[in-house]
Structure 1
Amino acid sequence: MCFLVTKSFTLTCGVPFILLGARYYFSRKVILAYLDCVLHTDMADIEEYYIKPAGSSFWVAVLDGSVVGMVAAQGREEDNAVELRRMSVDSRFRGKGIAKALGRRVLEFAVHNNYSAVVLGTTAVKPAAHKLYESLGFRHAGESEEHTLPGMSHSLLERMFFQIRYHRYRLQLREE
């Protein structure tokens, strides 16, 4: 179609590469801005965000003396829920049950602290992440394509080339 309009073989072959390059550039830009934001807020002061506040906590998974994973729990008074946050496992150690153990630790924490539910939000595109949450008992509670990450500029080009689907999950522990 492009060739019929432009009569240019070079342009016809180049357009897909230009679009892929733009997608890569804006995806990288958004992700790096998000990481910069995270590393200068809660992950810059884990104690202040997750250790000191009552009803919140932070755990790391250690294997052979090295940190291989982490997860945070942040209490939410408004709905008596705890939010599972920042779950991450080093890619070299995935598939070994570490994420499941970290997730279970958050669930135990929620029960011990009398929360009625555990919630989480994820932008994970890998089916394994969603299967993990479901294996822990979470139910998919909705999704949005309008989600924006901290650090996003919301420019037209950014919105055109970087879209993200945000999934919400909930595990009801007891009725309020």
Structure 2
Amino acid sequence: MGLYSETNTRFSFLTVICFVVTKSLVVSCCLPIFLMGMRYYFSRKVIISYLECALNTDMSDIEQYYMKSPGSCFWVAMLNGNVVGIVAARGNEDDNTLELRRMSVDSKYRGKGIAKALGRKVLEFAMINNYSSVVLGTTAVKVAAHKLYESLGFKHVGVIEHYTLPGMTHSVLERVFFQVRYHRYCLQLREE
């Protein structure tokens, strides 16, 4: 069941409970609007905090973090002179893995094979540099993102429920209205 289906089911259940307790149709109808507003507020707050964190860490100095670091790289997809997608790769010498990071495609250009081409570039880089596997983690809700990783050969290896994104405050309200699942994927290129 998807995140939105679960949320709608919870809202429906709470609306019914609210009506049973208050016997007020007005209050019962306002509750889902209030809850959706709170979900939107906290989702936006967390996502903006996460983006600010990213822009203050590796994305603040792409050249230093990805281009000068051995075994790492950063690619940009261009179309008609515009950046339409990015992806990064960060090597880990300790376990000889390459982490696929920061894959993003402009929403206007999704579904055109750009993400798949970027993913293949990372896999090619991993093979040229003799990494034993490529790993990635994602909080993507969209099924299309997960299907993309699987089409590239990645295997789903686990999920962490109630994952904390960088920039989250861990407040009770934040945890109630914004819950994240962190999916881990791995593509074994060769045995170590």
| Counterpart for residue 147 of structure 1 | 163
Alignment gaps of 5+ in structure 2: 1-16
| Counterpart for residue 107 of structure 1 | 123
| Counterpart for residue 58 of structure 1 | 74
| Deviation of 1:53 (Å) | 0.5
Q: Write the deviation string for residues 32-67 of structure 1: whole angstroms up to 9, x where unpaired.
A: 100111111111110111011100000001111111
Query: Aligned-pair RMSD on alpha carbons?
Result: 1.0
Aligned partner of 1:25 among 18, 36, 41: 41
> 1:172 and 1:166 mapped to 2: Cα distance?
20
Matched, 1:34 2:74: no
| Counterpart for residue 3 of structure 2 | none
Matched, 1:96 2:122: no
Matched, 1:164 2:180: yes
**Structure 2 letter corresponding to 1:53:** S
| Counterpart for residue 126 of structure 1 | 142
TM-score (norm 2): 0.89
| SS class of match (1:78) | coil
| SS class of match (1:164) | coil
> 1:83 and 1:133 mapped to 2: Cα distance?
13
Higher relative contact order (CA 8 A, sep 6+): 1
**Structure 2 letter corresponding to 1:42:** D
> 1:7 and 1:63 mapped to 2: Cα distance?
57
> 2:173 and 2:105 mapped to 1: Cα distance?
32
Q: Write the deviation string for residues 3-33 of structure 1: whole angstroms up to 9, x where unpaired.
A: 3322333222211111111111111110010
> 1:140 and 1:4 mapped to 2: Cα distance?
42
| SS class of match (1:59) | strand
| Counterpart for residue 116 of structure 1 | 132
Q: Out of 23-32 and 5-14, give the one that drifted further.
A: 5-14
Matched, 1:70 2:107: no
> 1:37 and 1:7 mapped to 2: Cα distance?
45
Q: Percent identity?
A: 72
TM-score (norm 1): 0.97
Matched, 1:84 2:97: no
